[in-house]
Amino acid sequence: MAAVEVHKFAQCITCHAWSRDRSMLAFCPNNNEVHIYALLQGKWEKLHVLQKHDQIVSGIDWSARANKIVTASHDRNSYVWNLEGSEWVPTLVILRLNRAALCVKWNPRENKFAVGSGAKTVCICYYEQENNWWVSKLIRKRHDSSVTSVAWHPNNILLATASTDGKCRIFSTFIKVVDAKESRTGPFADSKFGEQILQLDLSFSWSFGVRWSPSGNTLAYVGHSSMIYFVDDVGPSPLAQNVAFRDLPLRDVLFLSERLLIGVGFDCNPMVFAADLHGIWHFIKFLGERKTTSSGPKYGSQDGNGSCV
């Protein structure tokens, strides 16, 4: 299999998720369906079409260990899909939203997932065995606008959110009936469900994507101002810095390691960022061939106070 392959599945894809071994792909082709393709003998073939939502599917996440798919939609509903035999069977999720669900993400233990919404709330969902459905607890009254992205800390408890109010926030999601007491470690061990740990006001425009590094020591998020923000030592005195670039805004980020990150967005050309030995982040290059690294002043790192590093 080639290092880079191009396949056209649909004219427009609103969201997607890979299976653990990357042999299967689930995506929404800009409607109320989820299509699942598998790589068979070098070709991608459609195996399943999941039909339960009434409006556009805006979020998909595929759990790595349990092999469950969770979907979220503008119809304000979410479903957890289990593969039973050769069919994907949906299980109802009680979200209690009055606006569209916009994004969804499993936690690392895969016993909870978070749903961001246009209702200025985040739903933390967990399974109730006796009723055979997923219920949710809502984090309310903190966001001033839609929640566009959610990211779980490796400890399964802390959740980072990005919002169109321009802020990134971190919450505790500890639920007594789900989370073990031993998971409550570190400086926020006594935090209650929904308690806001930190609010980052680094961006002055919409915030889109947010992600933790593999260790959870660094948080990165991107905004509509063509800036990427990095936060170390999350807590009472976080260390923040940003990198500005002259190209179109990024929509999401992915850590490849503690010191290497990929950003993707409206420019349709992934950008590579890396931290040097001093922990200062810099733009490195574009993954595509049509752009080259610029040495101009618009590519630079700044600390949280806005002074050049």
Encode pLDDT of 270-299 as tens digits.
999 999 999 999 999 998 755 554 444 355
Question: Reduced to 3 states, what is the DSSP secondary structure of residue 181?
Answer: helix
Q: Which amino acid is located at 105 in the chain?
A: K
Question: Residue 65: pLDDT above 60?
Answer: yes
What's the CA gap between 297 and 231, in Å, rounded?
22
pLDDT of residue 201: 86
70 touches 79 (CB < 8 A)? yes
Sort strands 112-117 and 271-275 into parallel, antiparallel or unpaired.
unpaired
Output phi, psi for 52, to 5 deg: -150, -30
pLDDT of residue 237: 75
Percent above pLDDT 70 for the chain = 88
pLDDT of residue 57: 98
Instruction: Supply 138's token pair.
Output: 């809502």
Q: Which burial class, exposed, middle or buried, applies to 42 when counting CB atoms under 10 A from its CB (0-12, 13-18, 19+)? A: exposed
On whether the pTM is more than 0.85, the answer is: yes
**Would you report the helix, strand and coil content of the chain in percent, each value rounded to 5?**
0, 50, 50
Considering only residues 129 and 34, tell me which one the structure prediction assigns the higher pLDDT: 34
What's the CA gap between 91 and 40, in Å, rounded?
28
What's the CA gap between 216 and 232, in Å, rounded?
9
Angle among Cα 181, 185, 186 to the nearest 5 degrees reads: 160
CA distances from 49 to 31, 42, 62, 201 (A): 12, 21, 15, 41
pLDDT of residue 10: 86
Residues ≥6 apart with Cβ < 8 Å to 162: 147, 148, 149, 150, 168, 207, 208, 209, 210, 221, 222
Bridge partner list, 137: 124
Considering only residues 39 and 6, tell me which one the structure prediction assigns the higher pLDDT: 39
What's the CA gap between 149 and 102, in Å, rounded?
8
Considering only residues 143 and 305, tell me which one the structure prediction assigns the higher pLDDT: 143
Percent above pLDDT 90 for the chain = 71
Tens of pLDDT, residues 133-163:
899 999 987 899 999 999 999 999 999 999 9
Angle among Cα 76, 79, 82 to the nearest 5 degrees reads: 170
pLDDT of residue 83: 95
* 116: nearest Cα among 75, 148, 141: 148
* 162: nearest Cα among 78, 239, 80, 227: 227
Q: What is the mean pLDDT of residues 46-54?
A: 96
Question: Residue 206: pLDDT above 70?
Answer: yes
Q: Which amino acid is located at 100 in the chain?
A: A
Question: Reduced to 3 states, what is the DSSP secondary structure of residue 127?
Answer: strand
* 156: nearest Cα among 136, 126, 201, 129: 126
Considering only residues 5 and 79, tell me which one the structure prediction assigns the higher pLDDT: 79
pLDDT of residue 300: 58
pLDDT of residue 308: 26
Q: How confident is the model at residue 304 (pLDDT cuts 50, 70, 90)?
A: low
CA dihedral sign, ordered 125, 128, 131, 132: positive
* Mean pLDDT of all residues belonging to the chain: 88
Q: What is the mean pLDDT of residues 241-266?
A: 94
CA dihedral sign, ordered 274, 302, 265, 121: positive
pLDDT of residue 145: 94
Tens of pLDDT, residues 177-205:
888 765 655 666 678 999 999 998 877 78
Considering only residues 9 and 25, tell me which one the structure prediction assigns the higher pLDDT: 25
Bridge partner list, 252: 264
* Domains defined along the chain, listed by start: 1-201 (2.130.10.10), 209-309 (no CATH)
